[in-house]
Homo-oligomer: A and B are copies of this chain.
Amino acid sequence: MAAPRPGPEASSPGGLPVAVDAMGGDNAPGEIVAGARRAAEELGIPVVLVGPPDQMGDTGGLEVLPASEVIAMDDDPGSSVRRKKDSSLVRAAEAVRDGKALAMVSAGNTGAAMASALLRMGRLKGVVRPAIATPIPQLGSHPAVLLDAGANAECTPAMLVQFAQMGAAYASARYGVEAPTVALLSIGEEKSKGTPLVKETHALLEDAEHVRFVGNVEGRDLLRSPADVLVTDGFTGNVALKTLEGSLRFFMDALLEVFASDEEAKAAAEVMLPRLAPLAAEFDPDGIGGAALLGVDGVCVISHGSSNATAVVSAVRVAHDVAAAGLVDRVARSVAPA
């Protein structure tokens, strides 16, 4: 279940717009601009498009923040952010830093979006390393928040404890969960299972402040998560998420192939497809709203590279909602000593 979302009459805190990187993603700028326009029209959320004005096409009267450069999907994140100071990604992050935007949204180069947010907005006090939080759909409930989904291949136990705290703050801001539960991804429920990193983190989480720790979960639990937040290092998290995505896509493709295999199957598919639609909608990446970079001093939502206009609408909505719910303050408080 999504958080209650504002209707078209909603206004942003301080009337600030969400800054959308018009040039990020495989379908930029066309689908991105279309999504930004729809977000403004359908949700009533003010949006500012960031990028080269002459490349954006019809912006439908949306505000534009000019930026002359573009960071490509395959550019090296660190060096491109340092080199392309007038890129749409960097300018979007600066707009948040300078209080000109409520949040930033990009479907572009994930590493460069992270680097832009980190370098321009800065890290929140006390945060060792920012992490990427990704929603994992749960039937009949709000998604679980998995982090780190890939920002940090190498982690320490102290980092994982902060991921737990920041993930709980996100689950509160995003889904309205009052006291989110946290589980640790491992290879068995017993605290004796796993790597030294996992075992040490397990011990720390049992006593950590601001964390309702419910123990270990395994890979098979991801879609039936017993916790609101799933904590893991960025290597394992990335492998698990991509495995999940790959297997669901594989299964979908195989199913659709069978559905189209002959005339009788096609007729049966006409019965099945409307009944499968609610399930498919819950797993539609375009409806999920993207991943959030937690631990920086601003809201940064990263949508998947193949985002279409609908995905951009979702991402703008999420960025607006979590900013309005005070995500940054919540994250800052979550990692502060009691």
Q: Which residues of A contact B (CB under 8 A)?
A: 139, 150, 153-154, 185, 187, 193-196, 198, 218-224, 234-236, 238-251, 254-255, 258-259, 261, 264-265, 267-269, 271-272, 275-276, 279
Q: Point out the residues of chain B lying under 8 angstroms from A222, CB to CB.
A: 243, 246-247
Q: Point out the residues of chain B lying under 8 angstroms from A240, CB to CB.
A: 219, 239-240, 243
Copy total for this chain: 2
Q: Point out the residues of chain B lying under 8 angstroms from A223, CB to CB.
A: 246-247, 250
B254 touches A139 (CB 8 A): yes
Q: Please judge, given known A-B contacts A153-B187, A187-B153, A219-B238, whether A248 and B251 are in contact too, CB under 8 Å.
A: yes
Give the distance to chain B from A46, nearest Cβ to Cβ, in Å: 36
In the bound complex, what is the Cα–Cα distance between A279 and B258 (angstroms)?
9
Q: Point out the residues of chain B lying under 8 angstroms from A272, CB to CB.
A: 258-259, 265, 268-269, 272
Q: Please judge, given known A-B contacts A195-B235, A236-B235, whether A246 and B219 are in contact too, CB under 8 Å.
A: yes
Give the distance to chain B from A188, nearest Cβ to Cβ, in Å: 8
Give the distance to chain B from A191, nearest Cβ to Cβ, in Å: 13
In the bound complex, what is the Cα–Cα distance between A39 and B198 (angstroms)?
41
Give the distance to chain B from A230, nearest Cβ to Cβ, in Å: 11
Q: Specify the chain B residue showing the minimal Cβ separation from A246.
A: B220
In the bound complex, what is the Cα–Cα distance between A205 and B104 (angstroms)?
41
Give the distance to chain B from A183, nearest Cβ to Cβ, in Å: 13
21 pairs from A and B in contact (CB 8 Å cutoff):
A150-B187, A153-B187, A153-B193, A154-B196, A187-B239, A187-B242, A194-B235, A218-B239, A219-B244, A219-B245, A220-B243, A222-B246, A222-B247, A223-B246, A223-B250, A239-B240, A243-B247, A247-B247, A254-B279, A265-B271, A268-B269
B243 touches A261 (CB 8 A): no
Q: Point out the residues of chain B lying under 8 angstroms from A187, CB to CB.
A: 150, 153, 234-235, 238-239, 242
Q: Point out the residues of chain B lying under 8 angstroms from A219, CB to CB.
A: 238-246
Given contacts A240-B243, A247-B247, A255-B255, 18 further A-B contacts (CB under 8 A): A153-B187, A153-B198, A187-B235, A187-B238, A187-B239, A218-B239, A219-B239, A219-B246, A222-B247, A235-B236, A247-B251, A248-B251, A255-B276, A265-B271, A267-B268, A268-B268, A268-B271, A269-B272
